Amino acid sequence: MRTAQLAVWIAEAGRTEAIEALPGAKVVHLGGGQDAYPLWFAQMWERGESFISVEHDVAPTPAQIEAITVCESPWCAYEYQDAEIGVHPPLGCIKIGADLIEATPQMWVRYLGQLPAMIRNPDTHRVEYRDDDGLPQRQPDALWLHCDLWLDAYSRRHGFEPCRHLPHVMHLHG
């Protein structure tokens, strides 16, 4: 496994809590656009290199970053200490390996290029957004909102499972 680049993305000006625990992290200001987060992922996929992403409202310890850095899995994730996340892991603190990127080169191009299609789930009776392959689809007014669902479904579709790490990371609640 190649070494992962650490990037802390900051969507809001002035939020530095995550950075304080991670000296040497590269801060990426994404701006306020609805498509900034998936566009950033698309750029990281184009680079093709392993990376670690920490969201602006998550504060992992240096030991937690070290654990996912040295882990051999191409997809690592921490859940939050204050929530039951369910099936898919959040994006708050993840490592994406070059192997996952190489196996899924069109992941974010597909996400950004989808046309909305609403489908009512017969089991939950909730409206869901799915593409022709049954993968979760983004909602047009919240492009950033379903990046975690998309990463999870698309990666699993290509044979990748997340390596879930403990202890949970601290979520600072935006």
pLDDT, position 160: 96
3 state DSSP class of 6: strand
Return the pLDDT at 165.
Answer: 94
Tell me, rounded to whole angstroms, the distance of Cα 1 from its chain centroid: 19
Q: How far is CA 173 from CA 72, 84, 147, in A?
A: 30, 15, 18
The answer to whether the beta carbons of residues 138 and 150 sit under 8 Å apart is yes
CA-CA distance, 29 to 163, in Å (whole number)? 27
Task: Report whether 29 contacts 18 (CB < 8 A).
Answer: no
Six-digit token string for 148: 């975690």
Domains of the chain: 5-171 (3.90.550)
The average pLDDT across 73-99 equals 82
H or E stretch including 77?
Answer: strand 75-80
Which tens digit of pLDDT belongs to each residue from 51-68?
888 887 888 888 998 899
pLDDT at 84 (0 to 100): 58
| Average pLDDT across the chain, whole number | 76
Q: Is 112 exposed, middle or buried (0-12, 13-18, 19+ CB in 10 A)?
A: middle
